[in-house]
A and B are shown apart, each in its own frame.
Chain A
Amino acid sequence: MTKQSILVKLTELFIDFFDDDLIRLNEKSTAGDIEDWDSLAQVGLILLIEKEFKFKFNASEVGNLENVGAMIDLIFIKQL
């Protein structure tokens, strides 16, 4: 998957997860941009990404996913 298609897929996942059709993501999107994106939601998002992309982050990677760009980069590397 290209980084662009990962962004599209992530947007779909976020819309479904937050039950909010208005979500539009870009690489700079952070928890500050989405009302319900708190530390609790972060856990669910990480698990959802793992389920959809079929890999697991390790503990230190989890600590470095502060914005959507970081997520895309890591997903891109993991699938190589």
Chain B
Amino acid sequence: MMNIKFPIDPSKYIFKENYFSKESKKYSIQYKYKVKFIGGYTQSHTINWLEIFSRYSGILTETIKSDWGSGYNLISSPNIFDNNPDLLVVFLLPQDFYPQSRADISYINFEQIKLNLYHFADNCQSKKINIVFSLLESDFITPPVGGLKNDSLLSLSVKLNQIITEICDFHNNVLSFSMTNICSGFECENITSPRDWYAFGTPFNINASFFLGNYLKNLIRGFLGMSQKVLVSDLDNTLWGGIIGDDGPSKIKIGSDTPEGRIFLDIQIYILNLIRRGVYVSIASKNEEHLALEGFMRDDSILKADDFASLEINWNNKSKSIRSICNQLNVGLDSVFFIDDNPSEREEVASSCSEVVVPNVSDDPFTFLQALKFYDPFCIYLKPLQEDMTRNSSIKSRKIESEILNEAMSYDEFLKSILIKLKITIINEENFDRSLQLNNKTNQFNFTSQRLKAKNLSEIIKNDKNINITYSVSDKFTNYGLTGIIFLNIQNNILVVNNWLMSCRVFNKTLEIAMLEKITKIAKDEKLSKIIMKYIPTKRNQLILTFFKENGIQKVNNILNNEEIQEWEFDLNNKIEFKHHVEIIS
């Protein structure tokens, strides 16, 4: 990600666009994404910054500008889907909705507008295209509007925004944004100016374009499943003001009594909301644990010790604590976003664990909120899925599970006792979003790590020769939801596993053995000769090799002319015992 210094001063970047554009091209590209901009007049700066920020995040965005003119009219144009975009960014301005000669909103047919927008959103949903609408802001500079009264403009904005937000509620592929909201918290003043409108044709200024480009990049990261998974935070002067070991729990600043306390309160509220959406939040703090935990016992501390996925409160280096957190949560270092007020601690982490995202904050705690908003590491502008919302309950159940395990029970007995159930279905419209998210976020148990865009997954499920199995898992503590996918295909009497992935939340439950038994049965029922599994080794998916070894799966060859893709064979004549503790339910 691009290294930004907080508090953020956009002029440090916007007047060095050329420099940052060149620098961004040094980053390697992991993904390509097509974005089409519709309406809103001049969007060139937004497009430039979207491209720059995206490249820093490993995404090559191909941007397409629509014809000049009203966003609302353009969405009805027959060539709206030309260039096959992944995302449409639709700018609506108040003046798109009334003829200039008749600046009176009583002529506006809101029912017709609603129908048109719904039709457009439905159309995009069926084509697996994401849309983001700009909400109307009544104070945006518009061309001269004759007798249009201010309250009419406000009323127009309210009615149209209501329609847009309703469409967002009904469509998973539709989001909306407000320019004021995107820029708020960054001391980005005067985002509109009549001079810029008349001179440059931009409804908002270049600073706002900078923040909008960044916001759109964050949405795309979210669509591609590139969000971080863990927030690791320090305690003293990060979650509360003061040093609890020196000042004592009664003297730390948290709560509404002081300006500093109010900022920490907001940080804690922000973090609690992250936890509720399924982000793992852990502590890495140099403190005496019993003293530090007293901070969370205060009534005005929104966060409680129980909310955290793991606590590393000790005198170890922070990088060591972060590695330990990653081990406990089964995630990689590149899933971590780390906040700490102390620059030397940040430096220690950044130098020892270069994959961890360490924002360059200042000692002003408000900059922690700025950094969280700017980088949006957890992609909070996307709608959370059901599996996201239950993730932290599975962390709590994992804690209970490890307590049970400590009660001198064998691991097999333990697995039997927790009543693991697995339900198989195929990828369909209902579980499409979760399947896409799981495919793109899973790193460890993932045979090929091949990321998919919505359109790619849609093509896979439309192909009759593919069998796309998903499985949902529950045990007596938690319903983990959809946590595994196997992409199968039958070719020349062979069952080919094109990819198999499973969430780290359900590791070590013998689920993979149960599913191996299941696909073996499919192959035998279909009288196929063998099962071939495709495997692309990465730094993160080495545990697949252990799975292969333990189940007698042998490497056959590399796919022709491609040393990266390996083929591994499971011999159907193997007399293997599928030892698992999973009940497959229908």
Contacts and interface: CB of A to CB of B under 8 A. Distances in A.
Interface of A: 16-20, 36, 39-41, 43-44, 46-48, 51, 56-59, 62-63
B346 interface: no
B195 A44 contact: no
Given A43-B206, A47-B206, A17 B15 contact: yes
B15 A19 contact: no
A23 to B, nearest CB: 11
Interface of B: 11, 14-19, 22, 44-45, 48, 194-195, 198-200, 202, 206
Given A19-B22, A51-B11, A44 B199 contact: no
27 contacts: A16-B15, A16-B16, A17-B16, A17-B18, A19-B16, A19-B18, A20-B18, A39-B44, A40-B44, A43-B44, A43-B45, A43-B206, A44-B14, A44-B15, A44-B45, A44-B206, A47-B14, A47-B15, A51-B15, A56-B195, A57-B195, A58-B195, A59-B194, A59-B198, A59-B199, A62-B199, A63-B199
A56 B195 CA distance: 9
Contacts of A47: 14-15, 206
Contacts of B11: 51
Contacts of B199: 46, 57, 59, 62-63
A9 to B, nearest CB: 14
Given A51-B11, A62-B199, A40 B45 contact: yes
Nearest to B202: A43
Contacts of A51: 11, 15
Nearest to B15: A48
A17 B18 CA distance: 7
A19 B202 CA distance: 25
A48 B206 CA distance: 11
Given A39-B44, A40-B44, A63-B199, 17 more contacts: A16-B15, A16-B16, A19-B16, A19-B19, A40-B45, A40-B48, A43-B44, A43-B45, A43-B202, A43-B206, A44-B45, A44-B206, A46-B199, A51-B15, A56-B195, A57-B199, A62-B200
Contacts of B15: 16-17, 44, 47-48, 51
A18 B48 CA distance: 14
A53 to B, nearest CB: 13
B195 A59 contact: yes
A10 to B, nearest CB: 13
B169 to A, nearest CB: 36
Nearest to A51: B11
A73 to B, nearest CB: 18
B141 to A, nearest CB: 11
